[in-house]
Structure 1
């Protein structure tokens, strides 16, 4: 390794891990001693990561306040130093950190709020994709409908939350006073997706959540109809499944259909 590469590696190690091996390579100046000169870069790096987290987690920032959010982020940076060349992905583990690290672990809504905001970001950044139309489904002969299998749009995200994190985010986004954290005994299903450059989200009933989850796992229309019999009678299962499918297609959640062999 040549000298320049060694210096670059030592400088990076200092920025990421506070290793002072680079100190002997940096000279003092009349304006600032070497530790201060190095510190400028270290602080700037952490502030840039903080800025990235502020962009991704606006509602969490609002919930914790400036000082609380800053403390969280700097602690997170120490535990999860960036390993990504693209800052977009730096905050991927924040929900897990909040879920397992005191004192945040004692306030479950914080981890769920982070999880919700991250899922919205994933939906927004998902690659462009095609949308299935009602006309395309209508063109499939009725005898083939039982074998239809669908693929969801690349932006579709599914979450199960025990708190009102989604409502807190909605209030913050509307610049309204957010509700106090609240929790349910059982999880509430949510779906998030992008359509025409806008991100949408809504809650799901238990049967719809089951249906969309199984659709994403490759279940065909007939299998979904059979599964829905847990909530509706067999006579109306196909009609109910068709109604759910129509809603997903019209909302832009489905990208394609194929006949399952």
Structure 2
């Protein structure tokens, strides 16, 4: 091990675990002792990571309050230290941590709020790509529709939420008093996506959620129609599926329409 690598490893170990080997590698002064000098870096490292969490979870932070969010951030750091060179990705397992940690298991709505905000962050950071328009849809001949396949925009995210966290998110974002956390009888499908530079989210009916998942699986349009018969009359299913497609296109959610064999 090179001297530089050893120094870096000891410093990292100190920042992550408070390893005292670093005490012998730093020179103190009459004004600032070695422990105090190192504590500045130790604390600054944690403050910076909590700031990174705040940038991805601003509503969760506001909802929990500064003190509780800081406690959460420090506890999360102990379990899931930052491993990526960009702190943008620190916090990607926060919803998982909130769902499993003993301190937060009795508050499952916190984990679901984290899941919603992380989906929004991912949607915002997703790569840009052209989107289909209604002219692309209208130009397809009827014989091309059964084998037609759709590609969702990279920003589209699907999640299921049992708690009323979208309503709470909206209230906190608008600086209004949020309603009390409330669980539904069943998980509710939700959709998150970006159009231009704005994030949108909305709830989905069961049939639309199934259709979106089928699109993600690259199934042809005919398979979507066949599956939708579970909820829609067979005589109306093609029209219903076309209406869903029209809405997805209008919302900027379809990146590409690949026609089938003509």
Q: What's the TM-score once normalised by structure 1's chain length? A: 0.97
Q: Kindly state the Cα deviation for residue 25 of structure 1 after the two structures are TM-superposed.
A: 1.4
Report the equivalent of 1:190: 190
Report the equivalent of 2:28: 28
Distance 2:219 2:108 in 1: 33
Alignment of 1:197-208 (within 5 A): 197-208=197-208
Any idea what the Cα deviations from partners look like across 1:122-171, whole Å, max 9, x if unmatched? Answer: 00010001100110121111111111110000000001000001111111
Unpaired stretches in structure 2, ≥5 consecutive residues:
none
Report the equivalent of 2:95: 95
Which has the higher mean CA deviation after the structures are superposed, 123-132 or 17-26?
A: 17-26
Report the equivalent of 1:51: 51
Report the equivalent of 1:8: 8
Report the equivalent of 2:258: 258
Distance 1:178 1:54 in 2: 19
Q: Kindly state the Cα deviation for residue 98 of structure 1 after the two structures are TM-superposed.
A: 0.3
Secondary structure in structure 1 of the residue aligned to 2:145: helix
Secondary structure in structure 2 of the residue aligned to 1:92: coil
Distance 1:28 1:216 in 2: 59
Count of residue pairs the alignment pairs up: 261
Distance 2:145 2:119 in 1: 32
Report the equivalent of 2:137: 137
User: Is the CA contact (8 Å cut-off) linking 2:145 and 2:260 kept in structure 1?
Assistant: no
Report the equivalent of 1:171: 171
Q: Kindly state the Cα deviation for residue 208 of structure 1 after the two structures are TM-superposed.
A: 0.6
Q: Kindly state the Cα deviation for residue 260 of structure 1 after the two structures are TM-superposed.
A: 4.7
Distance 2:85 2:169 in 1: 28
Which has the higher mean CA deviation after the structures are superposed, 148-157 or 9-18?
A: 9-18
Q: What's the TM-score once normalised by structure 2's chain length? A: 0.97
Any idea what the Cα deviations from partners look like across 1:207-252, whole Å, max 9, x if unmatched? Answer: 1111111111111111111111111111000000000000000000
What's the Cα RMSD here?
1.0
Distance 2:111 2:5 in 1: 40
Q: Kindly state the Cα deviation for residue 74 of structure 1 after the two structures are TM-superposed.
A: 0.5
Unpaired stretches in structure 1, ≥5 consecutive residues:
none
Report the equivalent of 2:70: 70
Alignment of 1:147-158 (within 5 A): 147-158=147-158
